[in-house]
């Protein structure tokens, strides 16, 4: 989880100012002002429950780019600590979740993809797999809660089922077992792999088998 956070915060540092900064494509300060006008209240609680983010507690109007970087650098530092040491606890994981939540909730369309919510949900569940305060590993005599293990399996099931349903609803070619035909002809494939995949494209049976097995895995394997 620490490595995933490292990647997420590196991406944030690379693009947040251009996407959400003061002069970005969709400035976060404009979004927060719109939320404040919509809520019609200066109450911090009302604002936080509408758009949970730590930016409410800082001067985002004048120093938005700075605070976007502060959040990303803080999260990256904690994530690197987790990766290097291999340890974590409730405060660290919960703070990571709050930091990334603060970015996602002002990210608007840039952070509206499914993987952002998956990172948040996975990160939240990871909190309960760590010691409460200690930075030492959990003893073998204290296995993870079965409730959390079930929650992870439920998350995986929803991801796989949702991916399958999106494909089937998106285009009839998935039911016709012809989608990979288009993928191999127009997709971005490295030149040294193109010959192999194009040869596979000539064997419709192989492609049909590949598509049907992929669809089966999306819908049946999560139940196992």
Per-residue model confidence (pLDDT) at position 185 = 67
Whole-number pLDDT of residue 222: 46
* Full-model pTM: 0.74
**pLDDT, tens digit (0-9, with 9 covering 90-100), for 162-216:** 877 887 888 887 777 777 667 666 666 555 666 666 566 555 555 555 555 554 5
On the question of pLDDT at 1 being above 80, the answer is yes
Q: Assign residue 86 a region: left if phi > 0, alpha if psi is -120 to 50, beta otherwise? A: left
Helical segments of the chain, H only:
2-20, 28-39, 44-50, 60-85, 90-104, 114-127, 146-170, 173-176, 179-186, 191-202, 204-219
Question: Count of residues for the chain?
Answer: 224
Q: Is the dihedral of CA 64, 69, 72, 73 positive or negative?
A: negative
As a whole number of angstroms, the distance between CA 43 and CA 58 comes to 15
User: How far apart are the C-alpha atoms of 150 and 44, rounded to whole Å?
Assistant: 35
The two tokens of residue 195 are: 């010959």
Q: What is the pLDDT of residues 100-132, one digit of tens each?
A: 999 999 999 998 888 888 899 999 999 888 888
């Amino acid at each position: 989880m620490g490595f995933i956070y490292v990647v997420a915060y590196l991406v944030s540092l690379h693009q947040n100012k251009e996407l959400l900064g003061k002069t970005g494509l969709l400035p976060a300060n404009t979004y927060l002002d719109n939320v404040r006008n919509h809520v019609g209240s200066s109450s911090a609680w009302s604002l936080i429950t509408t758009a949970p983010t730590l930016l409410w507690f800082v001067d985002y109007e004048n120093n938005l780019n700075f605070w976007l970087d502060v959040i990303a650098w803080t999260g990256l530092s904690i994530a690197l600590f987790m990766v290097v040491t291999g340890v974590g606890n409730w405060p660290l994981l919960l703070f990571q979740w709050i930091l990334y939540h603060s970015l996602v909730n002002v990210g608007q369309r840039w952070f509206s993809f499914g993987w952002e919510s998956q990172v948040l949900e996975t990160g939240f569940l990871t909190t309960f797999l760590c010691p409460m305060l200690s930075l030492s590993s959990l003893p073998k005599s204290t296995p993870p809660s079965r409730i959390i293990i079930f929650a992870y399996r439920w998350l995986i099931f929803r991801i796989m089922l949702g991916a399958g349903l999106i494909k089937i609803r998106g285009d009839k070619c998935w039911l016709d077992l012809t989608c990979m035909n288009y993928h191999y002809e127009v997709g971005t494939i490295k030149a040294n792999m193109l010959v192999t995949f194009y040869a596979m494209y000539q064997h419709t049976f192989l492609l049909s088998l590949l598509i049907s097995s992929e669809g089966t895995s999306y819908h049946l394997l999560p139940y196992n």
